[in-house]
Amino acid sequence: MADTPSSAPKDPAGGTPQQGGGSEQFAAQPGQHEGGDPYAPPSGAGHARHEMPGGAGYPQFEGPGAAQYGTEPLEPPPAVATQHASYGMPPQTQQQYGMPQEYGVPQQPGTMPPPGAAPGQPVYGYQLGTPTGLDVGHALSYGLEKFRANLAPWLGITALGVIIYLVFVLVVQTFEPNSLLPLVLLFLAVMAALWLLQAAMVRGALYETDGVKPVFGSYFKFVNAGNVLLTALLAFLGTWIGLALCVLPGLVVGVLCMFALHFVVDQDLGPFDAIKSSATLVVGNIWPVVLLTLSVAVITFLGLLLCGIGLLAAGPISILAVTYAYRTLTGGRVAAV
């Protein structure tokens, strides 16, 4: 009777079972350590257990329809349009002020750089385009329409100016200061309040040109009250010194500083930069600005004739018209009526 073969482990190469036991079971096969890869399959054998015959290693099947990972071409990503934030500024204008065309300059609400700005200077505003000519008649009608469309807040902010004046009169009549110093201090306090009120009205007018109807609290969201007071003080002193000398120089200084507070409130410029920018803008558009100044003076005079009550309308209309001129001459945003 034939002997029944005993179960024995197979060799690693998939050969026949090894006979015997002891150290012979783990004996090296001929040539196993004589160079080469110890895990390489015998010659003539099929693919080893860990060998992957695909074009890139995966999968193990070849032929039509078999995916070859790592060899198929990659599709390019879809093109994504870059959204610029230059608010419509022409490329040549961006280059002029040192701004990158690919990203634009999203900044605080405002207008174009002040005239004479050096390349690379910080720019504030919407940057809507190049400056255009000023139509004084349209500026006045624009102020009137914006005033009528948002009547209550404008009347409220103007009435606050009347209250400040009445408080000043009441304090003077109550305490009757006899020395010069208390009068000067009281006068400066009232003027500071009126200058801040004027800046608040400029802020509201800028909102109107942006196409936003301001509420009462919106008027006081200007940037730097210190710059407002210093700018107004310098313009006030320059005007009164000019008036004391020969009247005409004072009027000239007043016209040159016409847009100073606009540059402070809208672009957060310092006092000297704001006055310089205003003077440059006025000189570059002298005749339309002079005509606008005369028109505002006439409107104010007519308001005074109506026992001062007309100033409740004359003040907002004038501020709105001047702000329209500022935005138009600097190429800033002007919302439609």
Q: Quick check: bond before 59 cis, omega within 30?
A: yes
Chain-centre distance of CA 290, in angstroms? Answer: 32
Residue that wins the pLDDT comparison between 24 and 135: 135
pLDDT digits (tens, 9 = 90+) for 205-216: 999 999 999 999
Q: What is the pLDDT, as a whole number, of residue 23? A: 44
Does pLDDT of 126 surpass 60? no
Residue 65's pLDDT is: 52
- 17: phi then psi, degrees, rounded to nearest 5: -60, 140
pTM beyond 0.75: no
Q: What is the pLDDT of residue 96?
A: 41
Q: Which of 91-100, 114-123, 228-237 has the highest mean pLDDT?
A: 228-237
Residue 84 has pLDDT above 90, yes or no: no
Mean pLDDT of 204-227: 91
Per-residue pLDDT of 169-178, as tens digits, reads 898 888 888 8
Q: Radius of gyration of the chain from Cα atoms?
A: 42
pLDDT tens digit sequence for 253-299: 999 999 999 999 999 999 999 999 999 999 999 999 999 999 999 99
Mean pLDDT, the chain, rounded, equals 74
For the chain, give every domain's residue range: 136-329
pLDDT per residue as tens digits for the range 13-23: 444 444 444 44
CA-nearest of 328, 4, 267, 314 to 121 is 267
pLDDT, tens only, 16-74: 444 444 444 444 454 444 444 544 555 554 444 444 454 444 445 555 555 555 555 55
Alpha helices in the chain (DSSP H): 91-96, 136-149, 151-175, 180-209, 225-246, 248-256, 260-267, 271-284, 286-305, 311-329
Tell me the average pLDDT across 229-237. Answer: 95
In the prediction, which pLDDT does 174 show? 86
- Give the integer Cα–Cα distance in Å for 272 and 256: 13
Confidence of residue 240 (pLDDT cuts 50, 70, 90): very high
